[in-house]
Amino acid sequence: MAVAKANGHKLPADAIQYVTFRSPEDSVWRPNILLDREQGQVRRPIEFEVTLRDPIKRAAELGVEVPIMTTAYELLKSAR
C-alpha cells in the first residue's frame, strides 16, 4: 500500500484484505500456485522475481522501505 501511495495510486483501505482473502471464483485473476495445482503441477518455481523484486526496486526508487517483502525475496532467492 505504501509503495502504491508513493507511486500516486490511492488504493481502498480494504484492498489488502480483498486481494488476500477473495475466493478465486470472484476474480479473473488467479494465483499462479493455484493454477499450477489445478493443472496437476505440484511444484513449479514461483515467479518471485516479478512478484517481489520489481516492487522492491520501485519502492527503493520511491524511498519506501519494504523490509518484509525484501526478506521474503532474499529467502526465496537463496532457496533456488
Cα 77–chain centre separation = 15
Per residue in 12-69, pLDDT (tens digit) is 988 888 877 776 677 777 777 677 778 876 666 667 788 889 999 999 999 999 999 9
5 pLDDT above the threshold of 90: yes
8 pLDDT above the threshold of 90: yes
CATH number of 2-78: 1.10.1040.10
pLDDT at 7: 94
Q: For the chain, what are the domain ranges?
A: 2-78
pLDDT at 77: 81
Q: How far apart are CA 8 and CA 27, in angstroms?
A: 24
